Structure 1
Amino acid sequence: MRPFAALGVLTLLALLGALVATHVTADQRPDVAQLERAGQARAGDPGPVLAQVDGLPITTADLAERIAIVQANLDYMRQEAATGGPQADFLQEFARLIESAGVENAALGSLIVDRALMAEAQRRGLAPTGDEVARRVAQDRALAPQVDDPRMAAYIAVIGEERYWTVVYPATVQQELAAQRLWEAETGAVADPVERQRAWTSVQARIIGRARVTLVRPDLAAPATLEGALAYLQRYWELYSNANR
């Protein structure tokens, strides 16, 4: 089980780094065009910094990519909710939350969580070392040819294979390992998986509550706002906690 951030499991499935290491059926992933749009945001210069969370930057490229991912997740949730499956009610409520908050605010909120968790892991000595990240990247790169998925191929092709494996994916691995270790440190004593996830939601809310979050270029974040992003997170945590009662 992995720790889930502000967009839950759907975000991790949509982030291409996770596709190598997770077992996800083809119809659960974004289509080629959606991943190409996400890749285009990541292919060039990171752009100027629009926000900082405990000193860690969020750039215009970060936000553009995350907006594309959130939109892909929203489309997926709408489709799944329409099938009437076991998670249909939750996915429908989740989709409504993103729609009411705005895709841009949901994207900025999820990035704020990512940076705050990374900063917390760094403060507590839980962030992975460069060697640990490099080993994981090498392992996943060796496995990548076994993943026969045109969407992953399209995303990497837009970015460029060398840039993806040496710049983009290492950052994804660093974030994932840091969050995983923080999750284990904070919730490892909780045996029940539902209670553990609820505890993790509370941990995230606590960390965000004391983080120093600054929107240094509101014009570059618009239409997202800091207030809108934080309000989205609060409503997400409430939704997730209520869904697991």
Structure 2
Amino acid sequence: MASKEGNTATVLETIPEDPAPKRTTRKKLPDSKPSKPSKPSPEEPSPEKKKPAARKAASKKTTTAAASRKPKPACKKPIMGPGRPKGSKNKAVKKNKPPAKRNKNAKRTTAHDLLAAIQDDEIPTNAQVKADYGFSRCYITLDQSKLYNVYRTVLEDFEVKPEELHEWLHHEDGLKNVAAEIKAKFEVLLGPEDYQGDYKWFLENQYIWDPEDLASEAKAARAAKELKEYYDARKRPGDDFDWYS
């Protein structure tokens, strides 16, 4: 037994110890991620920068093509006539409607001519109009302007139609009937102070409508004479205003 133990000891002593096994170094495998591209040299631009340049060239072509095209004319909205329904948003339609056209078949009378002169803000100059409605009986132009105001009130403010005024004139009493109708209109519709002066002058100068009213005619003739003498005394060289119409 002792010899066997001594043999094992000698065996252990004679067998050298093996060194630690070396680790085999692995070869580096290529990374799955793509490596960053190296910066291109300034002399050789990268292909990525060439693409925008190509796009710019294409955009230039489109702009030149668009510039060569003629612009389309703007579509205008149709102008809506007066027969269109209310509430139209078209601004081309005038708010103030034109006056209604007179019927061409209707008979034109001196009353229509009187209204036309009043609308033009003028004392009538037609001889027949002046004779029919008393302008020729006025002594001075100032009285004609007063008479003009009376008829303007009747035709425009009181809205008497020319046909109605013509009927008044062709009554059997003629101008006397016209005066009676005007007086009735004034008494019914008189209100504003603007009519007070016209109505007062109308009452004081009834000779224009009634040749038998000699008192008012004499008063008007005297007032016209005094007014002419007053202005003749103060007349300056070059003044040629005709106080007698």
TM-score (norm: length of structure 2) = 0.28
Higher strand share: 1
Q: TM-score, normalised by structure 1?
A: 0.28
The structure carrying a bigger helix percent of its residues is 1
Please say which structure displays the higher CA radius of gyration.
2
Which structure ranks higher in relative contact order (CA pairs < 8 Å, sequence separation ≥ 6)? Answer: 1
